Amino acid sequence: MTTTELRRLSELRSLLEGFAARHAAAHAAASPEALGALRSTLNRLTRAVRARDYEAFREADLELHETIVGLAGVPMLPETWRAVWDGLLAFHKQGFDDYFTDTRVLAEEHEHLVATIALGDPAAAEDAARSHVEAVWFRLAEQSASASDPEGDPLQRAVAHLAFRLHCPLKLTEVAREIAFTSPGHLSRLFRQQHGLGFQAYLQKLRLEKAAELLRTTRLPITRIAKRVGYRDVSRFGRHFKRRHGRTPGEWRRRK
């Protein structure tokens, strides 16, 4: 299968899983047994990720997503989704050891997805599902591109990386060395030349714009939104948000 075909198939998976997560969240309150099964599977998946046990991870990952699709209760969706899932198996398998070096992030992505469904928030669940699938594709494609074209545009690499990793700790030195393949000083200059902002200011802008979107479209608690965009300290998140948007997160949500 060509890269273009894999990309299209991954996009289809993103659409299907976003759709499934939205409907699963709408039905979650009436399905406590399914939610219990999701949480149990999530625990197994988290243990497998920490142990870097690929087979146990794949088994739990399949079961978790399959449960979400089933919980959606949409006729023909499980069969369609499974055909797409099977079509991507080899693509996903190639990268577990090489590309998921930060296993904590992988576990957190699944935990966030299950939490949004349990909260019964369809918009948040759809965002979580699609972000998760698209981040998987991006991470694999990013590494492939880095290996095949180390002389590519360093700023473009860095910007794309930030957009998909807002919830992760991100440092200029690490992004410059591992993603952009340039010096921190040069990458910082490129950000200022092209975006009028330094690395940290640009990253903060992305995080606060995503936070504003989640506050507007979902019912996620502010503490979870803060964590989702990379803030572990909710007070600091609130100060930065008000400085940028002129209102506290709570005021922004009520106004919108």
Contacts of 24 (CB under 8 A, 6+ apart): 68, 69, 71, 72, 117, 125
* 73-91 pLDDT per residue, tens: 999 999 999 999 999 887 7
Lowest mean pLDDT among 53-67, 102-116, 200-214: 102-116
Question: What values do phi and psi take at 101, rounded to 5?
Answer: -70, -30
The CATH code that applies to domain 199-255 is: 1.10.10.60
pLDDT bracket for residue 193 (50, 70, 90): very high
**Residue 253: per-residue pLDDT:** 93
CB of 210 closer than 8 Å to CB of 173: no
**Residue 58: per-residue pLDDT:** 87
Q: Which residue has the higher pLDDT, 241 or 88?
A: 241
Q: Say how far apart CA 155 and CA 116 lie, in whole Å.
A: 33
**Residue 206: per-residue pLDDT:** 96
**Residue 160: per-residue pLDDT:** 84
Question: What values do phi and psi take at 162, rounded to 5?
Answer: -60, -40
Question: Is the sign of the CA dihedral 1, 141, 22, 39 positive or negative?
Answer: positive
Contacts of 6 (CB under 8 A, 6+ apart): 88, 91
Sequence spans of domains, the chain: 3-148, 199-255
CB of 14 closer than 8 Å to CB of 130: yes
Q: How many helices and strands, by DSSP H and E, does the chain display?
A: 15, 0
DSSP state of 220: -
Residue that the structure tokens 């998909």 belong to: 164
Average pLDDT over residues 113-134: 93
**Residue 109: per-residue pLDDT:** 87
**Residue 94: per-residue pLDDT:** 64
* 175-184 pLDDT per residue, tens: 999 888 899 9
Residue that the structure tokens 């699963």 belong to: 24
**Residue 54: per-residue pLDDT:** 82
The CATH code that applies to domain 3-148 is: 1.20.120.530
Instruction: Please give the angle made by the CA atoms of 111, 138 and 79, to the nearest 5 degrees.
Output: 65
